[in-house]
Amino acid sequence: MQPIWLKHYPQGVPAAVDLRRFASLKELFEQSCRKFHDRPAFTSMGATLTYAETDRLSRDFAAYLQGLGLKPGERVAIMLPNLLQYPVALFGALRAGLVVVNVNPLYTARELRHQLADSGAVAVVVLENFAHTLEEIIGETAVRHVVTTQIGDLFPPLKRCLVNFVVKRVKHMVPPWRLPGAARFNAALKAGPGHAMQDVPVGPDDIAFLQYTGGTTGVAKGAVLTHGNLVANVEQTSAWIGIKFTEGEEVIVTPLPLYHIFALTANLLTFVRWGANNVLIANPRDLPAFIGELKKTRFSAITGVTTLYRLLLDAPGFEQVKAANGGALKVAVAGGMALHPAVAERWQKLMGVPLIEGYGLTEASPIVCANPLDITGFTGAIGLPLPSTEILLRGEDGTEAAPGAPGELCVRGPQVMRGYWNLPEETARALDAEGWLATGDVVRMDERGYFYFVDRKKDVINISGFKVWPGEVEEVLLHLPGIKEAGVVGMPDEKSGEAVWAWVVKSDPALTEQQIIDACHAQLAHYKTPHKILFRDKLPKSPIGKILRRKLKEEAT
């Protein structure tokens, strides 16, 4: 496919990036710590670590891990929300030459068992609020070292004691747990200087992460992401955002979990490279506290998903954020799921800047496409491919799709994973011999090289030979008055093979199934109109708020 998108790059954005700028994330981090020594690096609940402090603490943690006997290439799981301990543990592990396995702290025992056992993790850092889950399954894994931490462990002494006491003794947020031999995070940091940290050589081909897919299509798979993959995506993203940002001056709000690939790359790694301050939001569902943080932070960037932006816009007090921000906001990014037009319009009207939509996936570290930062409003597109990124759209017959026609998005570039951990057959299905990654997502390209998301290939509904894309039906439903959320899947049907079923969360209690079906008939062909409407108080979502269609289908079968 000809890269016609290059003609529409913003001025100053190159067609390709220098992949030799940093040999590894270790080098990138250490260079930023030297360059931005006294600048704030991470802020959580009013406490801040500078780059110098993060450098020292991560060095101490790396030395502690090496002192345990952990060797380069062994896996360390990090099971933490967005706290100051996260970057310390992350960069400590990477500096020790270890491979990081990010773990969702809200995992059930079954999910946690699979990820720890599959990755072969030998150590885990866990917030003690979730240690009881680890206790249930640790004997079925290779984990031999456990480091536990409390929410306030890296706060100043008085605040640390107060926060930890309230969390444990007042709010009772820590279920009982017992993990014999577990070390305390602060004790590990204190022990670190007693060990000489070995300067482990790390190169672009060394594995940095086993980053597990969300498991939305079944059992989660570990994408093998190298230092070269992540450095490339950081450099690609940096080239894209360079027209708006200045090194050492930015503040980015991070409400999405760092254990998810979107925030990991777009927020933490990219903005460490820029010497920015990452304001970590541990619990964005606590909207009053989140909005309070926004009102006292003059942030220049924020990332989120459409569901989070909608929650903010609907929350009391959010209208005061713009005044408190004082015009500092430059860029707001929406990723992880399709951006809803109504949310984009409301955000821009209130905050004065558009939501920049992009597209990515775990297997591509993750960013593949993004809208230019100089857009003036909602485009409906997932944007243009980033520098050094090739795109191919494959039709159903495996050949390149005709211009304007939908096809499966295939991507090739330095950010594409090495493969799936210990799954050669799955790897072969996803990556061909020429390095093209088949994403499973169907998109189309316009005459300017902008790409538009159609739907997941596996989610297409086949009704008597006619294709129905669930996203199209969801879009119609979400535009109807009285509907807050909607999820659409195809269910078996004796007459037509499949039928469209829709799960709906109402904002208008009086809304009926027939009213919705009638309204859909006016905007959709008969076969696309939902055959059945199921009302729910909430819909199943991934950690970043994406509706899990698989869960809806499981519920109905």
Assess whether 92 and 178 both reside in one domain: yes
pLDDT interval class at 381 (50, 70, 90): very high
Residue 166's domain comprises 27-201
Dihedral, 321, 327, 330, 333 alpha carbons, nearest 10: 10
Is position 263 within any domain? no
The distance of Cα 439 from the centroid of its chain, to the nearest Å, equals 16
Residues 6+ apart with CB under 8 A from 246: none
Mean pLDDT value across residues 209-217:
74
Assess whether 449 and 464 both reside in one domain: no
Residues 508 and 142: their CA atoms lie apart, in Å, by: 51
pLDDT at 216: 39
Residues 485 and 505: their CA atoms lie apart, in Å, by: 5
**Residue 218 clears pLDDT 70, i.e. is over it:** no
pLDDT at 282: 97
If one counts every other C-beta atom within 10 angstroms of the C-beta of residue 33, the result is 23
Residues 227 and 233: their CA atoms lie apart, in Å, by: 10
- Give the whole-number percent of the chain exceeding pLDDT 90: 88
**Residue 367 clears pLDDT 70, i.e. is over it:** yes
Respond yes or no on whether the N-terminal peptide bond of residue 366 is cis (omega within 30° of 0): yes
| Short-list 352, 292, 280, 348, CA closest to 320 | 292
* Number of H-type helices and E-type strands within the chain: 18, 26
Mean pLDDT value across residues 495-512:
94
| Short-list 407, 405, 520, CA closest to 474 | 520
Assess whether 411 and 526 both reside in one domain: no
- Of 396, 424, 456, the residue at which a domain comes to its end is 456
Is position 256 within any domain? no
Mean pLDDT value across residues 309-321:
95
Q: Which residues of 426-459 are buried (b: 16+ CB within 10 A; e: fewer)?
A: ebeebbeeeebbbbbbbbbbeeebbbbbbbbbeb
**Residue 347 clears pLDDT 60, i.e. is over it:** yes
pLDDT at 214: 61
Is position 190 within any domain? yes
Assess whether 473 and 449 both reside in one domain: no
CATH number for 535? 3.30.300.30
pLDDT tens column, 429-438: 999 999 999 9
Residue 546 · residue 456 · CB < 8 Å: no
pLDDT interval class at 462 (50, 70, 90): confident
Assess whether 514 and 470 both reside in one domain: yes
Assess whether 94 and 162 both reside in one domain: yes
Residues 153 and 186: their CA atoms lie apart, in Å, by: 7
3-state secondary structure 189-213: HHHHHHCCCCCCCCCCCCEEEEEEC
Domain count, the chain: 3
Is position 64 within any domain? yes
Is position 230 within any domain? no
**Residue 217 clears pLDDT 50, i.e. is over it:** no
Residue 37 · residue 51 · CB < 8 Å: yes
Residue 266 · residue 367 · CB < 8 Å: yes
CATH number for 389? 2.30.38.10
Is position 332 within any domain? no
Assess whether 414 and 524 both reside in one domain: no
Walk across the sheet containing 390-394 and list its strands: 390-394, 407-412, 437-445, 451-456
Assess whether 52 and 186 both reside in one domain: yes
Helix (H, G, I), strand (E, B) or coil at 336: coil
pLDDT at 200: 96
Assess whether 390 and 466 both reside in one domain: no
Residues 390 and 218: their CA atoms lie apart, in Å, by: 28
pLDDT at 487: 96
Assess whether 431 and 541 both reside in one domain: no
Assess whether 51 and 91 both reside in one domain: yes
The distance of Cα 344 from the centroid of its chain, to the nearest Å, equals 19
Is position 286 within any domain? no
| Short-list 484, 373, 81, 106, CA closest to 255 | 81
pLDDT at 402: 87
Sign of CA dihedral 80, 360, 333, 16: positive
- Min mean pLDDT across 212-216, 283-287, 295-299, 377-381 is at 212-216
For residue 145, the surrounding DSSP H or E stretch is: strand 145-149
Task: Kindly state the greatest CA–CA separation across the chain.
Answer: 72
DSSP-H helix ranges across 264-366? 270-273, 287-295, 306-314, 321-325, 341-351
- 222 Ramachandran zone, left/alpha/beta (phi>0; psi -120 to 50): beta
- Of 426, 456, 486, the residue at which a domain comes to its end is 456
Walk across the sheet containing 331-334 and list its strands: 47-50, 40-44, 277-280, 251-254, 301-304, 331-334, 355-360, 367-370, 384-385
CATH number for 197? 3.40.50.980
Is position 371 within any domain? no
Assess whether 394 and 487 both reside in one domain: no
pLDDT at 340: 87
Residue 266 · residue 301 · CB < 8 Å: no
- Of 392, 426, 456, the residue at which a domain comes to its end is 456
pLDDT tens column, 109-149: 988 999 999 999 999 999 999 999 999 999 999 999 999 99
pLDDT at 466: 80
* Mean pLDDT taken over the chain: 95
